[in-house]
C-alpha cells in the first residue's frame, strides 16, 4: 500500500518528516571508519611528523647526513618487524624506535623490554643500529626541542574526548520495601505491588476458571486434610502445597497396593515415624474409602489434581519420594529401561558435542522414541544401496600437521592422487642408459626447501656470553640449527632431531649442553657439582672424536669432558670431577645398573644425549631401549628433570620414536628430509641383467670398476659403502 503524498505546506505545519535513508549511511560506513582510523593515527607520533620536524629545524646541507640516518632507522625497523610487512608498518615501527631512543645513549633493560613487548623477539644488532642512528640525529638538537615534539603529540592526544567520558552517573540509593506500591508511568491510579505472594494470588485468580477451584482453596478431601494436619504438627509451620501433594501421592500408592494391613502398618511407621501413629490409624481404618474415592470421584477437583500429580510422579520416577522401597520389574521392563538409558546417554553425548561446536540441535532437546525409530528405519533403507565390501577412506579426517616436520613423502601421501591409488613415477630430469649388461638410472638431486617467512638466521653475536664463548670462531648457525635454536637453547623439552648426514646435529647437541650449563650459572659462577651431561655415541671411535670436539668447545667455560668406554676407564674421583661424559650404550648400561661414588651418578644426570637413535632397530637396539626406559623410570620415581635428546638420520617412523622418548611432537619433534642437505645428493642405480649368479657377480664388479674409474678421472671421491653394494660418490 502506497503512502499518501503530503505537500510542503502540510509538512511545514505538522510533525511529519521525511523518512531517513539508512542505506546511504551504511554505504558511507567504510569511509567513516577509514577517516576515524586516519584521525587516530595522526594523533600519535608518526614518521611523517618526525621527517617534517627535521625538515623545519635543520638546513638543507645537514639533511643529507640526516636522511642516511633516517634510512638506517627504517632498515632496522624493517628487520625487526619482518621483510613481509608493508610500508605503513615499517614506518610505525621506525617512529616507535625513534620515540624510544631519542633521549637514550644506549640500549638498556627498559628499552629492550619495551621493544620485545611490542614486536616480540628481535635481533639486537638492528636495535643497536637504530639507537646509534637516533643518537646521531638527536645530537643536532637541544633537549628542549625534542621534548617540545613529544609534548606537542601528547597535547593533541589530550584534546581528544573519549566516548562515554562526559556521561553523568547518579549514585543516590533508594531502599524499597516489598509492601510499597510503585505508580505506573506516574499515574497513581495504576500501581505495581512488590509483594510476591500477593502478585501470585492475584495472577492465579485471574487465570482460574469459576468451575475449577484452585488446589489451595479446596479442603473437602479426607486424605488431604489429614496429611496437612500431620505436616503442620510435625513441622510447626504451614506446610507447602507441593509437599502435601507429594506425601498424598506416596500414601495413596501404598494404600492402593495389594499388601496386607500388618505389612502396610510397618511401612507407614517407617515412613511417617512415631508422630504419625494417629494418621496411620485413620488411614488404615478408612483405606477402602480413600482408594474408592480416588478411583471413582470425578467432581472433586482436589482428588483430580492429586490423581494427575500421582500419575506424573509415578510415570517419571519409579521410586516414591518418601521412604525406600523395592521395585519389582519384569524382564521386559528391565530391557526397556536399559534401552531408554542407552538412548539418553547417546543424546547427552550429541548435545555435548553440539555444545562444543557452538551449535545446538533442536531435535536433541527432547527424547522422542518414535522419532528415533523413524530415523533408524530410514538409515536401514539407505544402507540397502551401499555396497557391502566398500573401501573405507578417511577423506574427511584431516591428519595432524606438526609444525617442525618437513617430510615431502608424507605430504605426497596426503594428496588426492595418492589416496585414489595412482601409481608413483620417477621425477623429471632422470637419465636412463640401457645395454645388454646393465641398466643405469640417474636421479638428479632434489631442489632445496624454500626459506619460510618465519625462518630467521641466528647470529653468534646475538647470543649471551656463554653461547659466544662456546661457538667462538663461527659467524652464525646454519638453517637447521636456526630452526631448532629456540627449543634447544631456551626450553627443557625432550627433543628428537632427524636430519641428513652432515646437517649439523652435533651443534644442536651443543645448544642443549649450553642450556643446561646456563641453568646452573649463578652470579658469574657455574655450579659444576650440581649436574652431569652424558653423550652416548654408538662406537668407541666416534666417542673419542666427540670427546675432542666438546673439550675444545667447552674449554673456555671450564667444563671437563672425559671419555668413559671399555678402553678408557675412569676412577671414582675422576668421574666426580667431570661434568660431561662421552660413553657407549653398553658402558652406560653397566654404569646405570650400579651406583658409582658416594652419590649415585645417575641421580645427578640432567641431560642425556643419544646419538644415532635409529640403531634401535639393529642388534644394539635393546641396550638403547633399556637405557631410555631406566631413565624415564627414574624421572617418574624421583620426580627429577632429565632431558633426553635423540639425534638420528632420517627415520620412516619418527612419530613412534618420539613417543618412545616422551617427546612432544608439536614442540620437540624436528624432521628434515633430503631437501635440507648442505650438499645436494643425487642417486645412480645400476641393475645387472644376468640371471646366472657367477656371471652376475663378474658383471657387477666390472660395472662398478668402470663407474669408479670414470669418477676418479673426473676428480670425484668415492666410498665403498658395504660388501656386495655400489659406491657413493
> Mind spelling out the 3-state secondary structure of 588-614?
HHHHHHCCCCCCCHHHCEEEEEEECHH
Q: Residues with Cβ < 8 Å from 418, sequence gap 6 or more?
A: 412, 424
Does residue 545 lie within any of the structural domains? yes
Q: DSSP assignment, residue 323?
A: S
Considering the domain boundaries, does residue 436 fall inside one? Answer: no
Question: What distance in Å separates the CA atoms of residue 232 and residue 120, rounded to the nearest whole number?
Answer: 72
In terms of domains, do 148 and 227 share one? no
pLDDT at position 550, please?
Answer: 95
pLDDT, residue 728, reads: 45
How many whole angstroms separate alpha carbon 238 and alpha carbon 218?
16
Q: Which of 118, 158, 137, 116 is nearest to 70 (CA)?
A: 137
Instruction: Give the domain-ending residue among 98, 123, 152.
Output: 152
For 212-248, give one letter per residue: b (16+ CB within 10 A) or e.
eebbeebeebebbebbbebbeeeeeeebeeeebbbbb
* Angstrom distance (rounded) from CA 374 to CA 382: 12
Q: Which residues pair with 496 in a beta bridge?
A: 646, 669
Averaged in consecutive runs of 10 residues, what is the pLDDT profile of the chain (729 residues)?
55 53 57 67 71 79 81 86 79 84 79 82 83 83 68 56 59 55 54 59 49 36 81 68 73 80 82 83 84 62 52 46 52 70 77 60 53 77 67 48 84 69 73 88 84 86 92 92 94 94 92 94 89 94 93 94 88 88 92 62 89 88 92 88 92 91 94 86 85 88 86 77 48
- Unique residue bearing C-alpha cell 496411620: 280
User: Would you state the pLDDT for residue 505?
Assistant: 93
Length of the chain: 729
d(CA 81, CA 121) in angstroms, rounded, equals 10
Nearest alpha carbon to residue 467 among 490, 483, 484, 495 = 490
Shared domain for 477 and 619, answered yes or no, is yes
Can you give the residue range of the structural domain that contains 69? Answer: 37-152
Q: Which of 77, 111, 76 is nearest to 93 (CA)?
A: 77
- Same domain as 232, residue 97: no
Cell of 519: 641453568
Would you state the cell numbers that stand for residue 389, as one nine-digit string?
A: 565390501
Question: What is the C-alpha to C-alpha distance for residues 498 and 505, in angstroms, rounded to an integer?
Answer: 9
Question: Domain check: are 98 and 232 in the same one?
Answer: no
Same domain, 491 and 587: yes
Contact call for residues 137 and 65 (beta carbons, < 8 A): no
- For residue 559, is it within any domain? yes
Cα-based angle 222, 228, 229 (whole degrees, multiple of 5): 90
Measured CA to CA in angstroms, residue 175 lies from 172, 178, 179, 279 at distances of 10, 10, 12, 47
Which of 546, 483, 539, 537 minimizes the C-alpha distance to 510? 546
Instruction: Name the residue among 438, 402, 288, 434 with its Cα closest to residue 669.
Output: 402
Residue appearing with cell numbers 612419530: 655
Do 548 and 633 lie in one domain? The reply is yes
Q: How far is Cα 729 from Cα 727, in angstroms, rounded to an integer?
A: 6
> What integer pLDDT is reported at residue 116 of this predicted model?
82
Q: How many angstroms separate the CA atoms of 686 and 277, rounded?
A: 105
Same domain, 471 and 599: yes
Last residue of a domain, one of 676, 692, 716: 676
- Please give, one letter per residue, the 3-state secondary structure of 378-443: HHHHHHCCCCCCCCCCCCCCCCCCCCCEECHHHHHHCCHHHHCCCCCCCCCCCEEEECCCEEEEEE
Please count the structural domains in the chain. Answer: 3
Going through 124-253 in order, the beta strands assigned E by DSSP cover: 181-184, 187-193
Please list, in sequence order, all residues whose beta carbon lies within 8 angstroms of the beta carbon of residue 10, skipping any fewer than 6 positions away.
16
Whether residue 552 sits in one domain with residue 657: yes
Reading the block at residue 386, the C-alpha cell is: 551401499
C-alpha cell at 316: 517419571
Given 3-state DSSP classes, what are the helix, strand and coil percentages for the chain, each rounded to the nearest 5? Answer: 55, 10, 35
In this structure, the answer to whether residues 148 and 249 fall within a common structural domain is no
Neighbours of 660 (CB within 10 A): 19
Tell me which H or E stretch contains 644. Answer: strand 643-648
Q: Is residue 120 located within the same domain as residue 229?
A: no
φ, ψ dihedrals at 110, nearest 5°:
-65, -45
Residue 374 lies inside a defined structural domain of this protein: no
Question: What is the Cα–Cα distance from 360 to 353, expressed in whole angstroms?
Answer: 9
Tell me which of 260, 295, 330 is where a domain ends: 295
CA atoms within 13 A on the CB side of 388: 0
Other CB atoms within 10 A of residue 614 CB: 20
Residue 124: is it exposed, middle or buried by C-beta count within 10 angstroms (0-12/13-18/19+)?
A: middle
Distance CA 327, CA 179 (A): 49
Q: Is 14 left (phi over 0), alpha (psi -120 to 50) or beta?
A: beta
Cell of 290: 480413600
Name the burial class of residue 140, with classes exposed (0-12), middle (13-18) and buried (19+) by CB atoms within 10 angstroms of its CB: middle
All three cell numbers of 205 = 485468580
Nearest to 257 by CA among 354, 328, 196: 328
Are residues 227 and 96 part of one domain?
Answer: no
User: CB of 255 within 8 A of CB of 283?
Assistant: yes
CA dihedral (165, 170, 176, 182) positive or negative: negative
> Which domain CATH number covers 636?
3.40.50.300
Residue 570 in any domain: the answer is yes
- Residue 485 is assigned to a structural domain of this protein: yes
Q: Which residues have CB under 8 Å from 683's CB, separation 6+?
A: 442, 443
In a domain, residue 445? The reply is no
Pair (241, 131) in one structural domain: no
The secondary element (H helix, E strand) that includes residue 279 is: helix 277-285
Question: Is 364 inside a domain boundary?
Answer: no
Amino acid at each position: 500500500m502506497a503512502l499518501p503524498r503530503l505537500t510542503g505546506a502540510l509538512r511545514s505545519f505538522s510533525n511529519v518528516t521525511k523518512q531517513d535513508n539508512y542505506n546511504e549511511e551504511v554505504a558511507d560506513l567504510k569511509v567513516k571508519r577509514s577517516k576515524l582510523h586516519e584521525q587516530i593515527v595522526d594523533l600519535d607520533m608518526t614518521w611523517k611528523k618526525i621527517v617534517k620536524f627535521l625538515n623545519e629545524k635543520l638546513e638543507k646541507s645537514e639533511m643529507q647526513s640526516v636522511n642516511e640516518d633516517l634510512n638506517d632507522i627504517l632498515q632496522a625497523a624493517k628487520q625487526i618487524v619482518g621483510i613481509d610487512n608493508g610500508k605503513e608498518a615499517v614506518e610505525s615501527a621506525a617512529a616507535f624506535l625513534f620515540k624510544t631512543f631519542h633521549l637514550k645513549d644506549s640500549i638498556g633493560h627498559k628499552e629492550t623490554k619495551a621493544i620485545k613487548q611490542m614486536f616480540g623477539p628481535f635481533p639486537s644488532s638492528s636495535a643497536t643500529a637504530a639507537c646509534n642512528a637516533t643518537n646521531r640525529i638527536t645530537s643536532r638538537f637541544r633537549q628542549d626541542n625534542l621534548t617540545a615534539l613529544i609534548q606537542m603529540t601528547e597535547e593533541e592526544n589530550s584534546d581528544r574526548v573519549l566516548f562515554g567520558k562526559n556521561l553523568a552517573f547518579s549514585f543516590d540509593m533508594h531502599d524499597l520495601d516489598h509492601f510499597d506500591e510503585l505508580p505506573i508511568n506516574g499515574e497513581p491510579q495504576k500501581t505495581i505491588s512488590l509483594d510476591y505472594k500477593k502478585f501470585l494470588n492475584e495472577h492465579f485468580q485471574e487465570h482460574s476458571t469459576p468451575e475449577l477451584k484452585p488446589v489451595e482453596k479446596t479442603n473437602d478431601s479426607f486424605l488431604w486434610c489429614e496429611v496437612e494436619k500431620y505436616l503442620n504438627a510435625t513441622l510447626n509451620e504451614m506446610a507447602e502445597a507441593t509437599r502435601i501433594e507429594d506425601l498424598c501421592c506416596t500414601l495413596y500408592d501404598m494404600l492402593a497396593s495389594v499388601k496386607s494391613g500388618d505389612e502396610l502398618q510397618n511401612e507407614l511407621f517407617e515412613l511417617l515415624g512415631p508422630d504419625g501413629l494417629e494418621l496411620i490409624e485413620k488411614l488404615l481404618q478408612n483405606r477402602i474409602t480413600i482408594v474408592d474415592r480416588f478411583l471413582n470421584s470425578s467432581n472433586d477437583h482436589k482428588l483430580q489434581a492429586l490423581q494427575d500429580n500421582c500419575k506424573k510422579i509415578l510415570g517419571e520416577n519409579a521410586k516414591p519420594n518418601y521412604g525406600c522401597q523395592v521395585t519389582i520389574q519384569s524382564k521386559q521392563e528391565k530391557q526397556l529401561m536399559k534401552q531408554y538409558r542407552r538412548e539418553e546417554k547417546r543424546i547427552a553425548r550429541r548435545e555435548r558435542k553440539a555444545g562444543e561446536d557452538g551449535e545446538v540441535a533442536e531435535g536433541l532437546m527432547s527424547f522422542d522414541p518414535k522419532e528415533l525409530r523413524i530415523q533408524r528405519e530410514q538409515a536401514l533403507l539407505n544402507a540397502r544401496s551401499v555396497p557391502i565390501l566398500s573401501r573405507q577412506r578417511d577423506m574427511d579426517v584431516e591428519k595432524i600437521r606438526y609444525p617442525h616436520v618437513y617430510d615431502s613423502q608424507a605430504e605426497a601421501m596426503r594428496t588426492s592422487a595418492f589416496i585414489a591409488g595412482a601409481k608413483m613415477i620417477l621425477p623429471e630430469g632422470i637419465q636412463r642408459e640401457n645395454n645388454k649388461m646393465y641398466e643405469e638410472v640417474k636421479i638428479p638431486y632434489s631442489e632445496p626447501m624454500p626459506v619460510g617467512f618465519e625462518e630467521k638466521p641466528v647470529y653468534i653475536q646475538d647470543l649471551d656470553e656463554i653461547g659466544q664463548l662456546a661457538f667462538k670462531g663461527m659467524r652464525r648457525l646454519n638453517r637447521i640449527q636456526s630452526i631448532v635454536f629456540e627449543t634447544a637453547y631456551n626450553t627443557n623439552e625432550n627433543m628428537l632431531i632427524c636430519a641428513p648426514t652432515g646437517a649439523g646435529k652435533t651443534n644442536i647437541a651443543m645448544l642443549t649442553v649450553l642450556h643446561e650449563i646456563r641453568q646452573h650459572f649463578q652470579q658469574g659462577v657455574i655450579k659444576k657439582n650440581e649436574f652431569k651431561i652424558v653423550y652416548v655415541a654408538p662406537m668407541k671411535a666416534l666417542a673419542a672424536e666427540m670427546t675432542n670436539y666438546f673439550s675444545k668447545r667447552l674449554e673456555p667455560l671450564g667444563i671437563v669432558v672425559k671419555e668413559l668406554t671399555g678402553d678408557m676407564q675412569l676412577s671414582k674421583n675422576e668421574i666426580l670431577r667431570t661434568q660431561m661424559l662421552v660413553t657407549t650404550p653398553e658402558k652406560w648400561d653397566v654404569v646405570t645398573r650400579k651406583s658409582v661414588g658416594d652419590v649415585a651418578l645417575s641421580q645427578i644426570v640432567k641431560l642425556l644425549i643419544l646419538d644415532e637413535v635409529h640403531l634401535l632397530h639393529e642388534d644394539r637396539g635393546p641396550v638403547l631401549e633399556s637405557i631410555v626406559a631406566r631413565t624415564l623410570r627414574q624421572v617418574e620415581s624421583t620426580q627429577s628433570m632429565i632431558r633426553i635428546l635423540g639425534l638420528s638420520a632420517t627415520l620412516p617412523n619418527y612419530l613412534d620414536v618420539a613417543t618412545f622418548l616422551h617427546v612432544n611432537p608439536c614442540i620437540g619433534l624436528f624432521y628434515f628430509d633430503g631437501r635440507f642437505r648442505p650438499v645436494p645428493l643425487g642417486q645412480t642405480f645400476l641393475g645387472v641383467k644376468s640371471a646366472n649368479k657367477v656371471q652376475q657377480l663378474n658383471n657387477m664388479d666390472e660395472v662398478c670398476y668402470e663407474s669408479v674409474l670414470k669418477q676418479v678421472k673426473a676428480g670425484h671421491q668415492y666410498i665403498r659403502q658395504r660388501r656386495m653394494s655400489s659406491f657413493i660418490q
